[in-house]
Amino acid sequence: MAAEKEVKEKAAAEELAKEKEAQELAKKEAEEKAKAEELAKQKEAQELAAKEKAAAEAAAQLNNERFAGYELIEVDGGDVSGYREANVVVDIGYGDREYWAFTNEYGQLVRVIADELVLQDDSSEPVTSSGRYYSDEAKVPGVESDLLDEGHVIADSLGGVSNAYNITPQESTLNRHGDQAYMEKVIRDAGGATNFEAIITYPDTETQIPSSYQYTYTVMGNEVVDTFDNVNPDEVNASLGLTGGEPADSSSPTPESAPAESAPANTGGDVSSVDTNGNGQVTIKEAEAAGFSMPIMSDHWLYPHMRDNDNDGMVGE
């Protein structure tokens, strides 16, 4: 009996030792696994930090190249002063957006660039009931004219601020219903744009009132170039015989000291005045000769009379 008991106790002791050994092995394996996972996390974090650092350095290098010859300064987006410093670059994007505005040696706003235009988000951004980030715009010399608006180079709806580095005195009808307004609508309808650049030209070095604008941007994979003068498009179209009316008398503003608002250019027109060869099909060359800027979108009255070869709702992109 004693021998049998001894055998059982020995077997039990051996089983206990095996269980303890298995537990220690499992514990060691778990510790090694946890250590390996921690090392993997640290490595991933280090790699991510290295990538972010490289991206930041690349962005800084790109900006250094972009900003060469200009002083980078900060200006509050709602600053209504019309003064601009010379040879500076300012971020005019609201919030985290990076839209860069450049002035020349005369303090004229001559160039604005953005890698990406991000539309205003009124569900998460503080905007007024009229869709503005700020209640007023910068009083750049020239906007006191009854015929000129405080025109945004990059509109509020596209994420632009309202200081002097994003405002130029712009002909009111052009700003509200002309090529400027049409360009903004194209970008909004596309959900944004990339590779944006605005080039602003002046008749001399004294004025802050531009003579013309050129906008280049990419929407839906198509590069668009819009070039137009800082003039009343209704008067231009009337002078070309495209509206059936006489040019508006620019010396006679409405009682509210603002130009009369006319219907948008895309509400209708006489195609025969554009279709010079009378074949019923308007070419890009004919449309441009008649004073229309490309692209012509699907909601424009000329669109049905033109050929959209790639059926993307846009002609002349």
Q: How many CB atoms lie within 10 A of CB 140?
A: 26
Residue 156 pLDDT level (bands cut at 50, 70, 90) = very high
Q: Write down the pLDDT at residue 264.
A: 40
CATH annotation of 74-238: 3.40.570.10
pLDDT in tens, 282-295: 787 778 778 788 78
User: Quick check: 261 pLDDT over 50?
Assistant: no
Q: Provide the pLDDT for residue 23.
A: 87
What's the mean pLDDT when you consider all of the chain?
A: 86
pLDDT of residue 85: 98
Question: 185-189: which pairs have CB atoms within 8 A and are 24 or more residues apart?
Answer: 186/219, 186/224, 186/295, 186/297, 187/117, 187/119, 187/158, 187/217, 187/219, 188/119, 188/157, 188/158, 189/297
Does residue 131 or residue 196 have the better pLDDT?
196
**pLDDT bucket at 88, cuts 50 / 70 / 90:** very high
Average pLDDT over residues 93-112: 98
- Residues of the chain with pLDDT > 70, as a percent, come to 88
Would the pLDDT of 225 be above 70? yes
**pLDDT(262) > 50:** no
The span from the CA of 170 to the CA of 151, in Å, is 5
Q: Which range, 155-169, 242-256, 276-290, is most confident?
A: 155-169
Q: Has residue 267 got a pLDDT over 60? A: no
| Statement: the pTM of the whole predicted model exceeds 0.75 | no
pLDDT at 183: 95
CA–CA distance, 30 with 58 (Å, rounded to integer)? 41
pLDDT over threshold 80, residue 126: yes
Q: What is the mean pLDDT of residues 187-206?
A: 97
Residue-level pLDDT at 243: 64
The more confidently predicted of residues 75 and 252 is 75
Instruction: Go through the chain and tell me how many residues it has.
Output: 317
Q: Indicate the range of 48-62, 67-81, 139-153 predicted with least confidence.
A: 48-62
| Spatial distance between the Cα atoms of 208 and 164, rounded to a whole number of angstroms | 10
Average pLDDT over residues 226-248: 79
Whether the pLDDT of residue 17 is over 90: the answer is: no
Q: Which amino acid is at 191?
A: G
Percent of the chain scoring above 90 in pLDDT: 52
Averaged over 159-180, what is the pLDDT? 96
